[in-house]
Amino acid sequence: MIILRLAIPSPLRRLFDYLPPSDEDNADLEPGIRLLVPFGKRDVIGILVEVSDTSDFAINKLKRAKKRLDTTPPLPQHLFKLARWAASYYQHPEGDALQQAIPVLLRKGHACEHQHETLWRSKEGATISQLKANALRQRELLTLILEHPQGISEDAIRAEGGNTQSLSALEKKSLVESFHREHKLAIENILHEAPLTLNPEQQTTLAQINKHEGFSVSLIEGITGSGKTEIYLQAIEKALRAGKQALILVPEIGLTPQTVSRFKKRFGVPIAILHSNLTDRQRLDAWLQAREGIARIVIGTRSAIFTPLKTPGIIIIDEEHDPSFKQQDGFRYSARDLSVMRARSENTPVILGSATPSLETLHNAVEGRYQWLKMTQRAGNSAPPAFKLLDIRQEKLSEGLSNQLVTAIGQHLNAGTQVLVFLNRRGYSPTLSCNDCGWIADCTRCDAHMTLHKSPPHLHCHHCDKQQGIPQRCPECNSDQIQPVGVGTERSEQALQNLFPDFPVIRVDRDSTQRKDAMHDIMNQVNTGAPCILVGTQMLAKGHHFPKVTLVAIINADSGLFSADFRGMERTAQLILQVAGRAGRADHPGTVMMQTYHADHPILQTLVEHGYSAFAQEELHNRRIAQLPPYTHYALLRAETTTQYRAESFLGALRQQLEDDMLLPHGVHWIGPFPSPMEKRAGMHRAQLMIYAENRKALHQLLANLCWYLEQNKEARKVRWSIDVDPADTF
Ligand SMILES: [Zn+2]
Ligand SMILES: [Zn+2]
Ligand SMILES: [Zn+2]
């Protein structure tokens, strides 16, 4: 008896038993292959997890799989195992997790192979003279084909005015033939350009990485400008020379043409780039090229962690602290943490790099689990930026800007350099309010104010995307005294343009860069080096280099200091340093001016005076005292309902039930339930329960119990619940 146990894309955390498509063809039923199976009223793609000879269900009740879709599994066994492990670790249904580990077209049942493009070429010895003088169309077409010895596609032929009749006429005369382009391994030159000369600190760092054979985890904690990327490039070069491949993960916002061009300039080998603008077909092709070893370097964002490599050589996670490495919904995995698991199973080194490492990673380095490599010198001759805190408690700000700051901006522009103004709020102003009665433009679906935009004019909720017109009069008291409150990037842009009419002001935020080439145009303008003001959100802070910027102004630096999220402080520090790192990158020394209402805040002072390392040590100390991660392990059980209080009371009852049934292992603790920091969002009322334990095993035992419990529970079907293991934020 052969029973196939399949993972099916369904919210249920269990596997499903099927009979094989036929009793004869049962050879090589390898775990990981896809099968088309009936499920409820539909046909779905299931993934084989194991073959068994028994089932808990009556054999005559089992359905037969309809069709086998693969001869060999799309994912290599160790990645298949990694995805299964991740499903269990992150408490996510296995069927869905396995689907997310493969490209969209494979989830839809497409064949796991390259698209075969038909090309045409001339046969040996074919010449125009073999055609009659009056066969004009055929002569033209043959000329065209002769001009393309590598082959030309039918689309291209039609675009050049050729037609199918002429083509088949030429084929009949044995002058041309069709063929499929082969994807073949072609390694010509590994390097396009010579590597840079390393300074002594870089040499030591690279030597430390290279001294390990096989699996090792290295944290490169290197200040901005210390030349981390050059270390990556030379570590990759070593892998390539050994005939291996490299996988590089970058933050979502960091996968810019600048990043890509640096790799393309250095290396002569094929590079697969998994960016968000690829079509499903292009993505599958890039994925296959990585799997077949054709692409030697793979660069992508979070989901690229599941890209198979034929000859894995090294994994690099750039900006490892970036929250985008953790998926925030559905399958809530951390690509950074999985990269360490993956490197271990593939026996390769993994490098985690950042100027501002996450406290989790730092903790691992402090404990000696990761090799800790510090780079504290700027490569080249550039000096690190000087920090200045601007105490604005007593100041009257004009459009969010203090006098001191405006003066400094003017000085830098007049000296012929560029200025970057950072403001982490897009739109014109964070909200609109009535001077007479105090009404505020709130979103009806969220516990949040609506952002005012002026171009085009509208109110916009940045949490649920609701948009509406701007009222002319106050909806409460009918007064016409309604005014924008606070400053966003649009308003700042306008204010700066009024203050400095002789200099261009360039806004960089999600709204101003929607057009496809917008960012490219902005960079071209900035790269001319002419004095200008860049004003924008964290889009400015990541992935882009502005060598001519000498002043970085941070407008609302302290907005994250008192966040309800225990990571608020860490995120604020990372963002400040990242923005600061944009100043003075080449031969211009830089200044960073930060406006703050908390100039005497000890943590802010540590950060500014002693740098990120000192800050991180203090913050780790605070976390230890407060029993927060990385000293404990956290999970968040979230629930949301359309009715107020319902989510909270559901979690309360659940907690009580688990305590009564003594399903709470020793050493596991609860906090809550309490309403989420933003209780209402997109019309849903939300609550959460924090669960933590010093011992990871104990936590996972509880989470497994909890999932089992919730799946049986009738009440649980009336709420939307989810579990987030190692949550990146607590909202
Ligand atoms: Zn009013
Ligand atoms: Zn908006
Ligand atoms: Zn909203």
Residue type, 465: D
| Structure confidence at residue 32 (pLDDT) | 96
Q: From ligand 1's centre to the CA of 459, what distance in Å?
A: 17
Tokens for 160, please give them.
């050049």
* Predicted TM-score (pTM) of this structure: 0.89
352, containing H or E segment: strand 349-354
Q: Where residue 492 falls among pLDDT bands split at 50, 70, 90? A: very high
Q: From ligand 2's centre to the CA of 4, what distance in Å?
A: 50
For the CA of 464, the nearest ligand: 3
For the CA of 479, the nearest ligand: 1
Q: Domain coordinates of the chain in residue numbers?
A: 3-107, 118-180, 200-375, 386-429+486-614, 633-725
| Structure confidence at residue 333 (pLDDT) | 97
Q: From ligand 3's centre to the CA of 454, what distance in Å?
A: 18
| Structure confidence at residue 274 (pLDDT) | 92
What contacts 8, CB < 8 A, 6 or more positions away? Answer: 15, 16, 37, 39, 44, 46, 95
At residue 387, the 3 state secondary structure works out as strand
Q: Report whether pLDDT(731) > 60.
A: no
Angle, vertex CA 137, rays to CA 135 and CA 143, nearest 5: 100
Give the other-Cβ count within 10 Å of 588's Cβ.
Answer: 19
Q: From ligand 2's centre to the CA of 426, what distance in Å?
A: 7
| Structure confidence at residue 632 (pLDDT) | 94
Name which of 435, 731, 365 is nearest 571 in CA terms: 731
Q: From ligand 3's centre to the CA of 681, what distance in Å?
A: 6
Within its chain, how far is the Cα of 670 from the centroid? 30
**Intrachain domains 3-107 and 633-725 with the same fold:** no
| Structure confidence at residue 482 (pLDDT) | 94
Q: From ligand 2's centre to the CA of 534, what distance in Å?
A: 19
Q: From ligand 1's centre to the CA of 440, what distance in Å?
A: 9
Residues 416-429: tens digit of each pLDDT? 999 999 998 999 99
Q: From ligand 2's centre to the CA of 425, what distance in Å?
A: 9
Q: Report whether pLDDT(160) > 90.
A: no
Q: From ligand 2's centre to the CA of 7, what distance in Å?
A: 40
Tokens for 285, please give them.
């092709």
Q: From ligand 1's centre to the CA of 375, what distance in Å?
A: 56
Q: Where residue 659 falls among pLDDT bands split at 50, 70, 90? A: confident
Q: From ligand 1's centre to the CA of 486, what distance in Å?
A: 18
Q: From ligand 3's centre to the CA of 205, what distance in Å?
A: 47
| Structure confidence at residue 585 (pLDDT) | 61
Q: What CATH number matches the domain at 3-107, 3.30.70.270, 3.40.50.10480, 3.40.50.300, 3.40.1440.60?
A: 3.40.1440.60
For the CA of 448, the nearest ligand: 3
For the CA of 437, the nearest ligand: 1
For the CA of 680, the nearest ligand: 3
Q: Does domain 386-429+486-614 have CATH number 3.90.226.10?
A: no
Q: From ligand 2's centre to the CA of 458, what distance in Å?
A: 9
Could you tell me if 290 and 307 are in contact, meaning their C-beta atoms sit under 8 angstroms apart? Answer: yes
What contacts 474, CB < 8 A, 6 or more positions away? Answer: 434, 436, 437, 439, 480, 481, 482
Name which of 588, 597, 98 is nearest 394 in CA terms: 597
For the CA of 454, the nearest ligand: 2
Give the strand order in the sheet containing 451-454: 451-454, 457-460, 467-468
Q: From ligand 2's centre to the CA of 461, what distance in Å?
A: 6
Q: From ligand 2's centre to the CA of 554, what distance in Å?
A: 21
Q: From ligand 2's centre to the CA of 517, what distance in Å?
A: 20
| Structure confidence at residue 188 (pLDDT) | 67
For the CA of 453, the nearest ligand: 2
Lowest mean pLDDT among 127-136, 148-157, 229-238, 678-687: 148-157
Residues 19-37: tens digit of each pLDDT? 999 877 777 889 999 999 9
Within its chain, how far is the Cα of 524 from the centroid? 25
Lowest mean pLDDT among 54-63, 166-175, 401-410, 513-522: 513-522
Q: Where residue 246 falls among pLDDT bands split at 50, 70, 90? A: very high
Q: Where residue 382 falls among pLDDT bands split at 50, 70, 90? A: low
Residues 678-707: tens digit of each pLDDT? 899 999 999 999 999 999 999 999 998 888
Q: From ligand 3's centre to the CA of 449, what distance in Å?
A: 8
Axis crossing angle, helix 335-346 with helix 77-89, rounded to the nearest 10 = 140
Q: Report whether pLDDT(189) > 80.
A: yes
Residues 565-579: tens digit of each pLDDT? 888 899 999 999 988
Q: What CATH number matches the domain at 200-375, 3.40.50.150, 3.30.70.1520, 3.90.920.20, 3.40.50.300?
A: 3.40.50.300
Q: From ligand 3's centre to the CA of 641, what distance in Å?
A: 16
User: How far, in Å, are 8, 356, 717 from residue 713 at the CA level?
Assistant: 21, 43, 7
Q: From ligand 3's centre to the CA of 447, what distance in Å?
A: 7
Across the range 330-334, mean pLDDT stands at 96
Across the range 88-114, mean pLDDT stands at 95
Q: From ligand 1's centre to the CA of 480, what distance in Å?
A: 8
Half-sphere exposure of 9 (CA within 13 A, CB side): 21
Q: Report whether pLDDT(149) > 90.
A: no
Residue type, 671: I
| Structure confidence at residue 715 (pLDDT) | 85
Q: How far apart are CA 539 and CA 442, in angstroms?
A: 26
Burial 306-340 (b: 16+ CB within 10 A, else e): bbbbbebbbbbbbbbbbebbbbeeebbbbbbbbbb
Q: From ligand 3's centre to the CA of 327, what distance in Å?
A: 21
At residue 667, the 3 state secondary structure works out as coil
For the CA of 457, the nearest ligand: 2
Q: From ligand 1's centre to the CA of 62, what distance in Å?
A: 66
| Structure confidence at residue 516 (pLDDT) | 77
Mean pLDDT, the chain, rounded, equals 91
For the CA of 428, the nearest ligand: 2
| Structure confidence at residue 696 (pLDDT) | 93
Q: From ligand 2's centre to the CA of 382, what distance in Å?
A: 38
For the CA of 683, the nearest ligand: 3
Q: Report whether pLDDT(586) > 70.
A: no
| Structure confidence at residue 557 (pLDDT) | 78
Q: Please give the DSSP secondary-structure letter assigned to residue 715.
A: G
Q: How far apart are CA 212 and CA 261, in angstroms?
A: 29
Q: Report whether pLDDT(164) > 60.
A: yes
For the CA of 510, the nearest ligand: 2
More confident residue, 565 or 122: 122
Q: Please give the DSSP secondary-structure letter assigned to residue 67.
A: E
Q: Report whether pLDDT(256) > 80.
A: no
Q: From ligand 1's centre to the CA of 478, what distance in Å?
A: 6
For the CA of 473, the nearest ligand: 1
Q: From ligand 1's centre to the CA of 495, what distance in Å?
A: 27
For the CA of 438, the nearest ligand: 1
Q: Report whether pLDDT(275) > 90.
A: no
Q: Report whether pLDDT(560) > 80.
A: no
| Structure confidence at residue 708 (pLDDT) | 87
Q: From ligand 2's centre to the CA of 512, what distance in Å?
A: 11
| Structure confidence at residue 712 (pLDDT) | 86
Q: Where residue 186 falls among pLDDT bands split at 50, 70, 90? A: low
Task: Taking the CA atoms of 649, 650, 652 and 657 in sequence, report the sign of the dihedral they define.
Answer: positive
Q: From ligand 2's centre to the CA of 432, what distance in Å?
A: 13
Q: From ligand 1's centre to the CA of 423, what distance in Å?
A: 29
Of the chain, the percentage scoring pLDDT greater than 70 comes to 97
Q: From ligand 3's centre to the CA of 11, what distance in Å?
A: 27
Q: From ligand 3's centre to the CA of 453, what distance in Å?
A: 15
Q: From ligand 2's centre to the CA of 464, what distance in Å?
A: 10
Across the range 534-539, mean pLDDT stands at 91
Could you tell me if 160 and 146 are in contact, meaning their C-beta atoms sit under 8 angstroms apart? Answer: no
Q: Which CATH number is associated with domain 633-725?
A: 3.30.70.600
Q: What is the CA radius of gyration of the chain?
A: 30
Q: From ligand 2's centre to the CA of 421, what distance in Å?
A: 19
Angle, vertex CA 591, rays to CA 585 and CA 592, nearest 5: 105
Across the range 479-483, mean pLDDT stands at 94
